[in-house]
Amino acid sequence: MSDLQIKNHVPLDSYSTFGISGKARKFAHLTSTTQIPELVARAKQIGLPILPLGGGSNTVFSDSVVSALCVDVDLIGIDITQTNDGVIVRAAAGENWDQIVAKTV
């Protein structure tokens, strides 16, 4: 069992650049890939879809309750591998897009 905590009715205004303060019916903060199996199991158990959240620049919430298990994905790491055919870039889901671009251009 991981240390994954599920919270109720968490305001989402800080997860969107628009700052609209809808609330997540359920909310989790994902800090390790080892938490993913429990996250999926808990979402199935409570009967809600998983809604991963990123930086918020492409997300608009209504001011009502979002009927999902909203997940703040805080996984970081960028791996760049040179191959004979080119370059492979692997970025964790919580990485900032602008930082990924800056490291690869």
- Which pLDDT score, from 0 to 100, does residue 64 have? 86
Predicted structure pTM score = 0.82
Q: Which domains does the chain have, with CATH numbers?
A: 1-74 (3.30.43.10), 76-105 (no CATH)
In this structure, the dihedral spanned by the alpha carbons of residues 70, 76, 81 and 85, taken in order and rounded to 10 degrees, is 20
Task: Answer positive or negative: Cα dihedral of 92, 17, 5, 65.
Answer: negative
Neighbours of 60 (CB within 10 A): 10
Q: pLDDT digit string (tens) for 23-71?
A: 999 999 999 999 999 999 999 999 999 999 877 667 778 888 999 999 9
Q: At 64, which amino acid appears?
A: S
In this structure, are residues 66 and 49 in contact, taking their beta carbons and an 8 Å threshold? Answer: no
The span from the CA of 54 to the CA of 80, in Å, is 21
18 CB neighbour count, 10 Å cutoff: 11
